[in-house]
Amino acid sequence: MDSRSRSLVRFARWVPFAVVLIALVIEFSPANFLVTGTFLTAMPAVAALTMGPKGILSVTALALFTDLVSPAYDHAYYSNIASLLLVSLASVTMSNAIRTRREDELDQVRRIAMAAQEAILHPVPARLGPVRAASMYLAAETGAQIGGDLYEAVQTRYGVRLIVGDVRGKGLPAVRAAAAVLSAFRVTAHYEEELAEVMNHCEAALRQERAVPGAVSQEVLLEGFVTVLIAQVSDTPEVQVVNCGHPPPLVLRRGKVRALMPASPLPPLGLDDLFTGPPVRAESHPFAPGDRLLLYTDGVIEARDPDDHDFFALPEAMEAVDPCTPHEFLEELHRGLIRHTADRLADDAAMLLVDRLGAEEADEQPARLPSPG
């Protein structure tokens, strides 16, 4: 629902109260010869269009008060009160029935949405070559709309490759865009040596998914773009990153968090027709044994406190977590998000965490896979 629709709904909620108050003024004015009982009787039914039982009963109480204190008595006095109570009872019953049905339908759509999301996103393996990993996806509490968050971690002959992204928009178009980018990454991550080429394939997949006959309008371009970050952890003590408009990853080293800001910012995928940037290339950052790398979507850092409307301080939250496993670390961040938002996450959020292991730990499992056949 857009802002205009929400404004219309808020306005409609005040209509029954306004009508009852106008009727009350008429009853105590020289114009009390006008018949207001018919309008009062209809108000509970009007209130049922935009309000629940409490709102309906509030309108009914105000209308009943107007009838009872009216100095103008006519033969339809008791009939009006009886009709008002009957319409009120019917409106409350109807409102409860509709609300129950809508909740059942919404629960069913939520289950379908979660099933669709889980078909695209899979928990990452706990161990991938030189890193330990964990992932977490948090669905927003704003309804049944499916989000466009995406993540994946795969072990390749070039090292462990990670992706995290966020599609602008909701619903099935966002899911299709996320699926296109993820599918391209899962295939090309295994045979493209350059990380930039993997990103180029993701861009091409998104462009193909969004292809429509004729010219693409600016509105279409701005609605379906994807912020994406691809990273690679190999045997060397560094992480390579290609960042296309995504929030920078955070590295936790010796209790302090540092953001890996891109030296040459790139536009999100899908916006290259509107914004030109430097050629896509990977940037290297130190990532030594014992370091912890967090990739995340903006649903994490844009989570707000319902009272003060402050954003969630992710770096400070990371520094406050005691040493623990990657899964436990994400669980602690999850609890921090729940506390900060009072369990009312406004947007979907995804987190992908990897720990760089020491040489001895990394040797316990081969860090590379044979080239695909």
On whether residue 371 sits in a domain, the answer given is no
Specify which residues 294 forms β-bridges with.
Answer: 250, 353
136 and 105 housed in the same domain: no
Torsion angle defined by CA atoms of residues 84, 88, 91 and 93, in that order, rounded to the nearest 10 degrees: -140
Nearest-Å Rg of the Cα atoms of the chain is 29
Are residue 183 and residue 301 in the same domain, yes or no? Answer: yes
Q: What's the domain count of the chain?
A: 2
- pLDDT, average across residues 260-273: 87
Within a domain: residue 283?
yes
Taking only the tens place, the pLDDT of each residue in 1-34 is: 445 666 676 777 787 888 888 877 776 777 666 6
Residues 251, 35: Cα–Cα separation, whole Å: 73
What is the rounded distance in angstroms from the CA atom of residue 80 to the CA atom of residue 356?
77
Domain boundary among 80, 112, 144: 112
> CB neighbours (10 Å) of residue 341?
18
> Count of alpha carbons within 13 Å of 32, Cβ hemisphere only?
14
Last residue of a domain, one of 112, 139, 159: 112
Closest C-alpha among 122, 131, 126, 128 to residue 292: 131
Neighbours of 312 (CB within 10 A): 21
The mean pLDDT of the chain is 81
d(CA 350, CA 311): 16
Q: What is the pLDDT of residues 141-176, one digit of tens each?
A: 555 456 678 999 999 999 999 999 998 877 778 888
CATH of the domain at 236: 3.60.40.10
